[in-house]
Amino acid sequence: MPDFSIRLANDDLTFCASHFITFQSGACEALHGHDYHLVVELQGPLNSQQYVVDFVVLHEALKSMLKELDHRVLLPRNHPHINIQTLGNELEVALGGRRWVLPKEDCLLLPVANTTSEMLAQYLAERIFQELAERKIALPKHIRVELRESNGFTAICQFAGDK
């Protein structure tokens, strides 16, 4: 029985965002940004219309997800040492002796422990499964998410459909 995959690698599957990551030593990068590029591959059986997932539907879902991330400061909600407090319309982010105060509307708290490209790729893979399920689209057997943060630097996350 043949195996089928679809791959979306459009030039418009991008978002610009800032972040910082922490290291095991407790050190922290400076706040900086990337122009991220997304590639998604889904593997699974053909449905009754003879495709894995409708390219257009998947593309629309991806664009919607990326719009949420675009031009935001990405912050890790599950980091064990980063303290994030809401102060009216601002977020105060503290780690060790460092402190940032940012407009709340410019930030996005993500359910990750660190905003590495690997964790962002995993977050997007999980969101794709969630989006397909919400749209009542059969889940693929396998998903592969590639997230390029800059030329030559790409993180990849893969899941089986039953995660």
119 belongs to a structural domain: yes
146 belongs to a structural domain: yes
Which of 34, 18, 21 is CA-nearest to residue 82?
21
Q: Rounded to whole angstroms, how far apart are CA atoms 47 and 35? A: 35
Q: What is the reported pTM?
A: 0.93
State the distance between the two ends of the chain, measured CA to CA, in whole angstroms. 23
In terms of residue numbers, what domain contains 24?
A: 4-72+111-160
54 belongs to a structural domain: yes
Q: Rounded to whole angstroms, how far apart are CA atoms 162 and 133? A: 12
DSSP lists the bridge partners of residue 56 as none
Q: Rounded to whole angstroms, how far apart are CA atoms 16 and 70? A: 5
Question: At CB < 8 A and 24+ separation, what contacts does 82-86 make?
Answer: 82/22, 84/109
22 belongs to a structural domain: yes
Find the CATH number of the domain harbouring 63. 3.30.479.10
104 belongs to a structural domain: no
Q: Rounded to whole angstroms, how far apart are CA atoms 55 and 58? A: 5
81 belongs to a structural domain: no
Give pLDDT tens digits along the chain (163 positions): 688 999 999 999 999 999 999 988 778 999 999 999 999 999 999 999 999 999 999 999 999 999 999 999 999 999 999 999 999 999 999 998 899 999 999 999 999 999 999 999 999 999 999 999 998 888 899 999 999 999 999 999 998 865 5
How many separate domains does the chain show? 1
98 belongs to a structural domain: no
Q: Rounded to whole angstroms, how far apart are CA atoms 74 and 154? A: 18
Q: Please provide the DSSP assignment of 45-96 as one string.
A: ---TTSSSS-HHHHHHHHHHHHHHHTTEEEEETT-SS-EEEEETTEEEEEET
Contact 61, 128 (CB under 8 A): yes
Max CA separation in the chain (angstroms): 59
9 belongs to a structural domain: yes
